[in-house]
Amino acid sequence: MKFITVKIRKYYPNKANLYLLNVGNSFWRLITLTNKTIKLVRVKDGDNEADDLQCDFDEITCKFDNKCRHTIKDWGDNTYTIYPDKSGVPYYFRPAQKEDIEREIEDCKKWGVSFIFYENLLKEME
């Protein structure tokens, strides 16, 4: 008899399913997470195009067996490293914390720009 080990993936990193990407500190929403695939979509602020400058994708879908366009490493603690197009600068995704959004709000206040987008994200987290 052959036994199969199934890795159970933890779902819901936070109430809003938000992840923070190390490139440009952009926020991403977890759309799909199964034992085979993960799909993340960038949460965009319609008024602020500055976060578009450092990230090449608005949506990333990966297969955990890496038989797709991108390569992914699941670190087992709800964090992931994705190598876009299997090369280049890796994208490190970690669950977003309230402190990350609060820091963005403080930066917006410091620079005198609207922080409504981040306040709405913060409300989703609560």
Q: What is the identity of the amino acid at 117?
A: F
pLDDT in tens, 47-69: 555 555 567 788 999 999 999 99
Is there a contact between 122 and 101 (Cβ–Cβ < 8 Å)?
yes
pLDDT of 114 > 70? The answer is yes
- Per-residue pLDDT, averaged over 64-75, amounts to 91
Average pLDDT over residues 15-41: 85
What token pair was written down for 49?
């195009």
Cα distances (angstroms) measured from residue 20 to each of 2, 10, 46: 39, 17, 18
Q: What pLDDT is recorded for position 45?
A: 73
Structure confidence at residue 3 as a pLDDT band (50, 70, 90): very low
pLDDT at 72: 93
How does DSSP classify residue 15?
T
